[in-house]
DNA sequence: AAAGCGGGGCC
DNA sequence: GGCCCAGCTTT
């Protein structure tokens, strides 16, 4: 099977952005771009990169400038400790390394303002060091590709993802690979509305298959997504369908759906048929279960819905207070219901 | 392990 | 208007 790294690299060759710091292997410029791009989008950082490289074409020029001038040039970018550390690091390179940017991971990592991410990025891109980067994009791509639910903002999560990222690294061209997976996260595997429809990894993406793309990566700090199990009874009699309108105090207020039996975990049909709700609805009539359909996980903002539809045909329509009998057209339906109907062309 | 650090984009 | 994004340093 084609390695994931090859798919990412061919995607990068097609779709990767042409950016000024990708046209150089000057360690100063790579380092400068990485510091600017910490917590900053490319669209915002680009003009600052151009401004800095014009005013300070090399690290000696940066080191020679007063700190105030560096801060002024940084104005508007935020996180001003980045600018102070940038300037201090430039001066260290002049005083401790004779003006030559250090070439080992340990030395680069020890510069002020350089953490694991920036050291790996600089050393892989400039020196072909086999160091996998781990930034927000990489967390997201790996969490989805392997459907990993371990929170990324915990010690165990960071260690797990660091090991996985290192395993995935294409060590024959680490710099190119690192840029590819980060651009892939920024452009294709985006936090919101990822482009799964034209994703070259769609067939290999475990989160896409599981319906968990929207909840990957998991972060501890965020409100927890609650799992709910919705068992719908799609009851028909002739051309008529049982519909129920949702009330307040929950999702989809005022929308219509099929009669619903919610359980606290996955339930098979026999378990449902034994519930009081089911017997109240269908206990008195004759009915036949035609088929059961399990939908992919349906992601809402704070809930992950696991829905199963049981299609039931009745000899006579049951009468039940909270249920209406209707044709489906004209009723506002949750997307989950609409997807079920579309998928099975009903 | 957790807090502090800006600014911008999106719904 | 509120939520999300995110790497490094400090505590």
Average pLDDT over residues A312-328: 67
Q: What is the pLDDT of residue A186?
A: 92
Query: Could you read off the pLDDT of A57-111 as tens digits, one per residue?
Result: 999 999 999 987 887 888 778 787 888 899 999 999 999 999 999 999 999 999 9
- Residues 208-227 of A, Cβ under 7 A from nucleic strand C: 219, 222-223
Q: Which residue is nearest to nucleotide C6 (CA to C1')?
A: A39
A81 C-beta less than 7 Å away from strand B = yes
Give mean pLDDT, residues A223-230: 68
User: So what's the pLDDT on residue A322?
Assistant: 47
- The whole-number average pLDDT for the span A297-312 is 78
Strand C interface, A 175-204, C-beta < 7 A: 185, 191
When pLDDT is averaged across residues A166-189 and rounded to a whole number, the result is: 95
| Rounded distance in angstroms from the CA atom of residue A256 to the C1' atom of nucleotide B5 | 47
pLDDT band at A173 (very low <50, low <70, confident <90, very high): very high
Burial of A72-108, coded b for 16+ CB within 10 Å and e otherwise, reads ebbeebeeeebbebbbbbbbbbbeeeeeebbeebebb
Whether A34 is catalytic is yes
Least confident of A8-17, A61-70, A156-165, A263-272: A263-272
Judged against a pLDDT cut of 50, whether residue A329 lies above it is answered with: yes
The reported pLDDT for the residue numbered A62 is: 96
**How far apart are the C-alpha atoms of A119 and A135, rounded to whole Å?**
12
CA torsion through residues A342, A340, A194, A167, sign: negative
As a whole number of angstroms, the distance between CA A167 and CA A161 comes to: 10
Q: For residue A141, what pLDDT band results from cuts at 50, 70 and 90?
A: very high
> Model confidence at A324, in pLDDT bands (50, 70, 90)?
low
Q: Which nucleotide has its C1' atom closest to residue A38's CA?
A: C7
> What DSSP assignment string belongs to A182-217?
HHHHHHTS-SSS--GGG-TTGGG-HHHHHT-GGG-S
Nearest nucleotide, C1' to the C-alpha of A134?
A: C7
Note the CA–C1' distance, A119 to B5, in angstroms.
20
Whether A128 shows a pLDDT value over 50: the answer reads: yes
Which of the residues A2, A15, A34, A54 is marked catalytic?
A34
- State the pLDDT at residue A223: 47
Is A20's CB less than 7 Å from nucleic acid strand B?
no
Task: Tell me which residue has tokens 């690091």.
Answer: A89
ω into residue A217 within 30 of 0, thus cis?
A: yes
Q: Which nucleotide is nearest to A193 (CA to C1')?
A: B10
């Amino acid at each position: 099977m084609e390695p994931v790294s090859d798919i990412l690299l061919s995607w990068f060759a097609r779709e990767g952005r042409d950016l000024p710091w990708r046209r150089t292997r000057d360690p100063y410029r790579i380092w400068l771009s990485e510091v600017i791009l910490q917590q900053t989008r490319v669209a915002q950082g680009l003009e600052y990169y151009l401004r800095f490289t014009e005013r300070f074409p090399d690290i000696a020029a940066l080191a020679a400038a007063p700190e105030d001038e560096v801060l002024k040039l940084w104005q508007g970018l935020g996180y001003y400790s980045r600018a102070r550390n940038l300037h201090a690091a430039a001066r260290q390179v002049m005083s401790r390394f004779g003006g030559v940017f250090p070439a080992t991971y340990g030395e680069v990592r020890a510069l002020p303002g350089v953490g694991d991410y920036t050291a790996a990025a600089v050393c892989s891109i400039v020196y072909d060091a086999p160091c996998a980067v781990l930034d927000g994009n990489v967390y997201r791509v790996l969490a989805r590709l392997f459907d990993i639910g371990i929170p990324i903002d915990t010690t165990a999560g960071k260690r797990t993802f660091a090991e996985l990222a290192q395993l995935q690294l294409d060590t024959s061209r680490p710099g190119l690979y690192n840029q590819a997976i980060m651009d892939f996260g920024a452009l294709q595997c985006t936090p919101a509305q990822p482009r799964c429809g034209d994703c070259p990894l769609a067939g290999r993406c475990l989160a896409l298959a599981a319906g968990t793309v929207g909840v990957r990566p998991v972060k501890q700090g965020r409100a927890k997504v609650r799992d709910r199990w919705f068992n719908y009874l799609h009851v028909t009699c002739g051309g008529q369908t049982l519909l129920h309108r949702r009330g307040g105090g929950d999702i989809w207020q005022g929308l219509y759906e099929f009669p619903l039996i919610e359980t606290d975990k996955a339930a098979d049909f026999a378990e449902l048929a034994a519930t009081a709700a089911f017997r109240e609805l269908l206990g008195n009539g004759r009915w036949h279960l035609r088929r059961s359909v399990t939908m992919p996980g349906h992601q809402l903002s704070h809930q992950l819905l696991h829905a199963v539809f049981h299609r039931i045909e009745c000899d006579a329509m049951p009468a039940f207070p909270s249920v209406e009998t209707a044709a489906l057209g004209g009723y506002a339906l949750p997307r989950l219901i609409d997807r079920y109907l579309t998928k099975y062309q009903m």
